């Protein structure tokens, strides 16, 4: 394997390791102990843990942007530019040899680039620089100048101690100035970066709060709509019971059983945010049993849904509102009565619920009535544009109401 290929694979492995580390931290998973076996990796784990999710996301984007050959090409371009700049320094100040100037420029530029990256993605660490850290950077600048001067003396065949005695103070002062400039630049960048992060975090917090309030508002409106539907059903059902009682119907015991079942089901399913299709169909069956006793042979009904679809979650009150609409506006006004069919089917990721009656038809159906308007508003609030309600003529007469809901 050629060296360039080996360098590329090592660089990709480094990127993959750190992306996996960021993913683990964002997902709340513990970091693999075998991965953090070296002190350098353990320091990286601590550094990333101190970052916010926003900073880690931005660092991940940075790594992806310079992933693979693109990052190596950028690094190579930077080294070439440093070499050119070093030759310019050599031609401007001949006392610096070409190799010395190139080494000096590369050291300064690469250290500054590393410091800028650290200040950009770990800006909070630069908010409180202790005197010890400041002194460390200044001493490091002085030491770097002395080491560079020593190497320059050796390259010219001069004794390092003689060179340091002659130019050591100048080199130390220059290194200290370079360290101070570096600190000032990094501190300024870190301050600007922290202001940007504070503004971004405040914006994200405000958006999260708006989203939470919006969700609460939607749920409150849905509960209000369900609260409007619940007494409507109960009063209609009690009205049917009253009519049968006034006629002295012999089915009073059976009717009472259906009423108890209906009331128990309605109290348990109207109030939650979600119910199952099976529970809703049980409520519909009790309601239609009561209506059948009231209307006699003028009403027949059937309910058809597979066991798999019966487990599907749906919003309460949607389907039974359509059933009540079919009884009230389709079967009751029609002298001959009719049949109500409630069916459930699925197409891809869509649950299709259908209420079909053979009553009076569309001409007598108030399409803008409160019940249908309530259903449409609940669909819009709960599902947005992922759900819909269709109304069309049945054959040979009557109406079909079809709900399209996302399967969850």
* Predicted confidence (pLDDT) at residue 259 exceeds the cutoff of 80: no
Cα separation, 209 vs 221, whole angstroms:
18
Q: Do 155 and 285 sit in the same domain of this protein?
A: no
The pLDDT value recorded for residue 269 is 47
In a domain, 237, yes or no: no
Structure tokens at 272: 């939650």
Is the alpha carbon torsion for 287, 291, 296, 302 positive or negative?
A: negative
Q: Do 338 and 388 sit in the same domain of this protein?
A: yes
The pLDDT tens digits of the residues spanning 17-62 come to 777 777 777 777 776 666 666 676 777 777 777 777 777 777 788 7
Domain range enclosing 156: 62-208
Rg (CA), the chain: 38
Q: Do 93 and 147 sit in the same domain of this protein?
A: yes
- Residue from 112, 120, 209, 106 nearest 148 by CA: 106
Q: Which residue has the higher pLDDT, 59 or 222?
A: 59
User: CB of 287 within 8 A of CB of 233?
Assistant: yes
Q: Do 44 and 84 sit in the same domain of this protein?
A: no
Of 208, 235, 258, which residue sits at a domain end?
A: 208
Least confident of 6-10, 42-46, 263-267, 393-397: 263-267
Give the angle subtended at the CA of 197 by the CAs of 196 and 203, to the nearest 5°: 95
Q: Which residues contact 183 (CB under 8 A, 6 or more apart)?
A: 129, 134, 137, 138
Rounded alpha-carbon distances, angstroms, from residue 385 to 56, 273, 309, 377: 34, 19, 22, 11
The pLDDT tens digits of the residues spanning 300-321 come to 999 999 999 999 998 887 898 8
In a domain, 220, yes or no: no
- Residue from 383, 379, 384 nearest 408 by CA: 383
Structure tokens at 366: 């108030």
Q: Do 203 and 67 sit in the same domain of this protein?
A: yes
Q: Which strand (E) or helix (H) includes residue 339? A: strand 338-347
Give the angle subtended at the CA of 375 by the CAs of 374 and 377, to the nearest 5°: 65
Q: Do 45 and 141 sit in the same domain of this protein?
A: no
User: CB of 311 within 8 A of CB of 351?
Assistant: no
Cα separation, 298 vs 338, whole angstroms:
6
Q: Which residue has the higher pLDDT, 30 or 265?
A: 30
């Amino acid at each position: 394997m050629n060296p360039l290929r080996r360098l590329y694979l090592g660089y990709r492995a480094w990127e993959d390791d750190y992306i996996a580390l960021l993913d683990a931290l964002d997902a709340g998973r513990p970091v693999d102990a075998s991965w953090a076996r070296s002190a350098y990796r353990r320091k990286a784990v601590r550094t990333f843990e101190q970052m916010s999710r926003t900073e880690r996301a931005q660092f991940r984007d940075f790594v992806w942007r310079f992933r693979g050959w693109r990052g190596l090409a950028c690094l190579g371009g930077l080294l070439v530019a440093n070499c050119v700049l070093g030759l310019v320094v050599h031609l401007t100040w001949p006392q610096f040899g070409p190799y010395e100037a190139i080494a000096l420029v590369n050291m300064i530029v690469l250290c500054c680039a590393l410091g800028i990256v650290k200040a950009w993605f770990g800006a909070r660490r630069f908010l409180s620089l202790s005197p010890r850290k400041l002194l460390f950077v200044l001493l490091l600048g002085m030491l770097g100048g002395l080491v560079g001067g020593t190497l320059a003396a050796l390259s010219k065949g001069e004794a390092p101690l003689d060179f340091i005695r002659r130019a050591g103070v100048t080199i130390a002062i220059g290194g200290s100035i370079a360290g101070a400039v570096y600190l000032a630049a990094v501190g300024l960048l870190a301050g600007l970066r922290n202001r940007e992060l504070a503004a971004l975090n405040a914006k994200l917090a405000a958006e999260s709060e708006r989203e939470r309030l919006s969700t609460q508002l939607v749920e409150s409106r849905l509960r209000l709509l369900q609260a409007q539907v619940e007494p409507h059903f109960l009063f209609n059902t009690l009205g049917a019971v009253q009519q049968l009682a006034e006629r002295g119907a012999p089915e009073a015991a059976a009717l009472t059983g259906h009423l108890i079942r209906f009331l128990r089901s309605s109290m348990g399913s109207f109030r939650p945010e979600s119910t199952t299709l099976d529970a809703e169909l049980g409520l519909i069956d009790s309601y239609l049993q009561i209506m059948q006793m009231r209307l006699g042979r003028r009403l027949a009904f059937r309910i058809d849904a597979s066991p798999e679809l019966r487990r599907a979650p749906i919003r309460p009150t949607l389907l039974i509102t359509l059933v009540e609409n079919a009884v009230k506006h389709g079967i009751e006004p029609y002298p001959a009565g009719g049949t109500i069919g409630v069916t459930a089917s699925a197409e891809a990721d869509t649950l299709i619920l259908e209420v079909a009656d053979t009553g009076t038809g569309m001409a007598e159906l108030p399409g803008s009535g409160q019940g249908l308007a309530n259903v449409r508003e609940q669909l819009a609030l709960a599902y947005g544009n992922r759900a819909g309600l269709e109304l069309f003529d049945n054959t040979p007469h009557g109406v079909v109401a079809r709900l399209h809901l996302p399967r969850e």
